[in-house]
Amino acid sequence: MRVLITAGPTREYLDDVRYLSNSSSGRMGYAVAESLIAAGHEVVLVSGPVEIPIPSGCKIHQVETTSEMRDACVNHFPNCDGVIAAAAVCDYKPRERIQGKIAKTGDGISIEMIETDDVLAELGRTKDQRWVVGFALEAENQRANALQKLRAKNCDVVVLNSPTAIGSDTNQVELIDRNGDVVAEWSGSKQDVADRLVQWTLQNLG
């Protein structure tokens, strides 16, 4: 089986030196990739900028912006059996990127923001017979928001975790299906959680 994995953050530039991003380490997505490779499957990894080793044996496509991640995913998804979308994608970007560097003037500035490409939603719309596992990082109304995301993006299941997962070596997650039921709960190192997620996915979706 060939599986598409997204991992890490994306960046959206304000000018040529400054960008919006988040503190995602990429560890969760990379751990999922390692678990799939260990199980004998082929992995196509689309990764934002991270500082961890690339899993041995996977095809890596390194991207920076959300648009680049979208293009890579749309290109490779048709040749995969499913996707596990663990990336922490920027939701907004400046309407216009300033050329050069924004200089201080002593006054405040306003920057108009627009939504970025919804990578997971596009994969969900075009999945056909492929399966889609999404991730939802929620701070409030966690299960309700995760279920709304699952349905809006046409996922088969969604992995719910909290902001404490960002940059951490451990994770505590719930796996929610389309009925809103919690079908599994796992906690531990991100590698342990990844192993359990991959095992569940292969047994129930793959």
Catalytic residues: 22
Question: What SS3 class is residue 92?
Answer: strand
- Looking at the DSSP bridge assignments, the partners of residue 43 are 3
Q: Mention every residue, 6+ apart, whose C-beta is less than 8 A from residue 159.
A: 86, 133, 134, 135, 136, 173, 174, 175, 197
d(CA 5, CA 20): 22
- Supply 20's token pair: 């919006």
The one-character DSSP state at 98 is P
- The residue behind tokens 């400046």 is 94
d(CA 107, CA 100): 19
d(CA 193, CA 189): 6
Question: What SS3 class is residue 10?
Answer: coil
